[in-house]
Amino acid sequence: MGSSVRARCLAWSSTVDGVVPISAATSLGVAGPSRSRRPIRCRVVSSRTTGRPGRRRLSGQVPSCALLTGVFRAMKKVLPGHGDAYFMDAVVLAGGYATRLWPITKHRPKMLLPVGESTVIDRIFAEIESDDRIEDVYVSTNERFAEDFRAHLAEGDYEKPELSVEDTSEESEKFGVVGALAQLVEREGIDSDTLVIAGDNLISFGVSDFLDFFEAKGSACLAAYDVGSRERAKSYGLVSLDGDQVVDFQEKPDEPKSTLVSIACYGFPAETLGELSAYLDDDNNPDEPGWFLEWLHTREAVYAFTFDGAWFDIGTPESYLDAVAWTLDGDNCIEDGAAVDDSDLGHNVHVMADATVVGSNLDASIVFPGATIRGCDLRATIIDEDTHVENLDLAEALIGAHTQIANGG
């Protein structure tokens, strides 16, 4: 097959993202074709509303179903355990810029990256949509990716999710996750118990199982997973438990005492959401939620829902490929419209619609729509949309959209 990419390569394009080793994916990306813009479907509760956009505030004649919802919400403190009387909201965190995955996430949110036949955030939406306890779902994103999510939600069959857009469009403008969450709670007027979950985490447990645990505890909860490595645990919030209660929490410790870490899935009672402002007013770290949990567990009971199985925090090319491999489980996914001719596919290969693979060997790699691969060996490599690569031997490479690269003359 083709010579190594470290040998002589010829690249030409007016908008070249280039070849990026996965260990140092820093090259630029370019925007693909714009998607059609359609409005999000919404549920009309009353023709007269007041308050902030996106949050229903009823005035005048209140429909009986909305009145009952208000009654049920009040009853949940009086009649705990009655599932038909328990309502909560959800916040799906989707505001990151995913710079470690550039160029493939420079112009698309990483939550919409394909993982098998779906996306990570669609898995979360599907579970939330089917749980009757969850009423309103706020997708927290930024101005740069708001249109992507509007189009994605409009194309789906979801009824609950609605966008809540923070006023940022660059990584340097971010409020931090805790800061953005506090602003969303204020902006949308959230006054219910709330599930907060990252839109880029692939998890093997059912969200409803976590909500069962949260409802039973009636206190702040987090999901915890044993990463099996103290070195890996340094990148997360470390949890120590007495039974299932959190007795110690360390965000990104230099010397982890264990390997049990908190993942980005939390249940916060309405009263706890009010503590976000107090936390920030004390000049605490507004970035990772773990810093808030470290502060919170010394003030009120926090419980941990532990689980086995799998968890992938999709923030790097390696973790994205690992999530795809876990989902495909050794199989390959060749979408309708893709053409694979005279080629050998190993395991965990995803070739998307309208892509062409000819005379090549692929293993543990992802080829986006419209890309063309000819005479190549690809291992653990991601090729973005409408890119043409020819006669190359690539391992752990990341090639941006609309790029043309060939080896030789």
User: Using one digit for the tens of pLDDT, what is the confidence trace for 200-255?
Assistant: 999 999 999 999 999 999 999 999 999 999 999 999 999 999 999 999 998 889 99
- Whole-angstrom distance, CA of residue 390 vs CA of residue 409: 11
- Whole-angstrom distance, CA of residue 401 vs CA of residue 198: 26
Domains belonging to the chain, first-starting first, are 10-25+332-406 (2.160.10.10), 64-315 (3.90.550.10)
Q: What does DSSP assign to residue 4? A: B
CA 130 to chain CA centroid, nearest Å: 19
The two structure tokens encoding residue 354: 């309208």
Span 325-361, pLDDT tens digits: 999 999 999 999 999 999 999 999 999 999 999 999 9
Q: Does residue 45 register a pLDDT over 80? A: no
The pLDDT value given to residue 397 = 95
Q: What is the mean pLDDT of residues 395-403?
A: 95
Q: Does residue 145 register a pLDDT over 80? A: yes
Span 48-66, pLDDT tens digits: 233 333 333 333 333 333 3
Q: What is the mean pLDDT of residues 85-101?
A: 85
Is the separation of the CB atoms in 306 and 225 below 8 Å? yes
The pLDDT value given to residue 84 = 52
The pLDDT value given to residue 96 = 76
In terms of pTM, does the model score above 0.75?
Answer: yes
Please state which of the ranges 175-184, 198-207, 297-306, 349-358 shows the lowest mean pLDDT: 175-184
- Whole-angstrom distance, CA of residue 173 vs CA of residue 154: 28
Q: What is the dihedral of CA 221, 225, 231, 236, to 10 degrees?
A: -30
Span 242-289, pLDDT tens digits: 999 999 998 889 999 899 999 999 999 999 998 999 999 998 988 888
Q: What is the mean pLDDT of residues 366-378?
A: 97
Confidence of residue 167 (pLDDT cuts 50, 70, 90): confident
CA 29 to chain CA centroid, nearest Å: 20
The pLDDT value given to residue 40 = 31
